Structure 1
Amino acid sequence: METELDLEALWDECFAMPDASPDVEYAKRYFFNRTEQQIFECFDRNVIERTSELREITPPLFNLYFPHFQNYILKCKHDSMDANCISSCYMGLLADKLQQGIVSNKEIIDKAALINKHFRENLSFYNDYPEIYGDLKLKLDEADKLLAQYKIG
């Protein structure tokens, strides 16, 4: 388990990156020292921004905080007006990070399979605007391929 001091050092490394995005500051504000419920509320307010912030943090921080996004999908009730955006943001971020090979937390891989199943079982809810957000079924098929070949370690 990371200590607060270790986490501060990880955040300092993130801020020190030469190409650090301004989103890093927001990421720390919304993720560091927050309960999962507080993080869920931040996702509720703006899933697009939280996704952007997760995209910009370093791999160690991503591996630490991305499971909260996964739990947000699995544990929270979503408004039908937000469902397509949530699934699109999540699937895009997951695919990017798997393709970059930076996922080192087995929990992320295990939950990704559960989320893919959840999305497939609720496809009409999370995919009712494919002309805007893209076809979720195709994204799920691609994610399944990436997950099947992904190796941690």
Structure 2
Amino acid sequence: MPVNISEKQWNDAIQNSEAGPDLIYAKSVFFNQPERKIITRFQINFIERTDELRFMPANLMMAYLPYFVRFIVTCRHDEFDKSAIANCFFSLLEGKLSDDTINTIELLHKSKDALLFISNRLDEFNTDPDIYGNLQPRLHHLITLLDQKA
């Protein structure tokens, strides 16, 4: 999954953002890295990767969000992390859909693939309602939003 983001785009984003130091670190994680390495970085700390995606400018976030989807659907997750992974993804998706950052058909479809993956395994991901709330209503709301936008 090659990413068509240049170093100039990263440097411009860093220079023009209040999140400069965070983007500098995000650049070291994402820029010019092979897919396997990015996925491994999600495995090591998916919460930090989610925050990096959340604060990236739209062009960068849209380029790297598919790695989060791949992480969700292709990796084996510890049973204690599954609800946190779903919550992180749902929160990121809710924010990026509400501000229309996710606006390409391809990204809408990839996001829905991750939601359907979680939906088909909801009993595995919805294990901490006391911490994250019941994920099912959020999941259905996000699927509905994606269907409306696609």
Do both proteins adopt the same fold according to a TM-score greater than 0.5, normalized to the shorter chain? yes
Corresponding residue SS for 2:81: helix
Q: Runs (4+) of structure 1 moved beyond 6 Å?
A: none
Matches of 1:112 and 1:64, distance apart in 2 = 13
> Cα offset for 1:146?
1.6
Corresponding residue SS for 2:70: helix
Matches of 1:50 and 1:112, distance apart in 2 = 16
- Cα deviations by residue, 1:102-128 (Å, 9 ceiling, x for unpaired): 113322211222222111111111110
8 A contact 1:67–1:107 mirrored in 2: no
Equivalent residue number for residue 38 of structure 2: 39
8 A contact 1:95–1:146 mirrored in 2: no
8 A contact 1:23–1:52 mirrored in 2: no
> Cα offset for 1:145?
2.3
8 A contact 1:99–1:146 mirrored in 2: no
Equivalent residue number for residue 11 of structure 2: 12
Matches of 2:68 and 2:111, distance apart in 1 = 11
Query: Structure 1: where are the runs of 5+ without partners?
Result: none
- Identical-pair percentage: 34
Matches of 2:3 and 2:84, distance apart in 1 = 31
Determine whether 1:82 maps to 2:87. Answer: no
Matches of 1:106 and 1:35, distance apart in 2 = 24
Equivalent residue number for residue 93 of structure 2: 94
Equivalent residue number for residue 103 of structure 1: 102
- Aligned residue type for 2:119: R
Equivalent residue number for residue 125 of structure 1: 124
Cα gap change, 1:117/1:87 in structure 2, threshold over 3 Å: closer, same or farther? same
Corresponding residue SS for 1:81: coil
Equivalent residue number for residue 69 of structure 2: 70
Matches of 2:17 and 2:40, distance apart in 1 = 31
Q: TM-score, normalised by structure 2?
A: 0.91
Equivalent residue number for residue 148 of structure 2: 149
> Cα offset for 1:21?
4.7
Matches of 1:55 and 1:118, distance apart in 2 = 22
> Cα offset for 1:134?
2.0
Matches of 1:104 and 1:16, distance apart in 2 = 25
Q: TM-score, normalised by structure 1?
A: 0.89
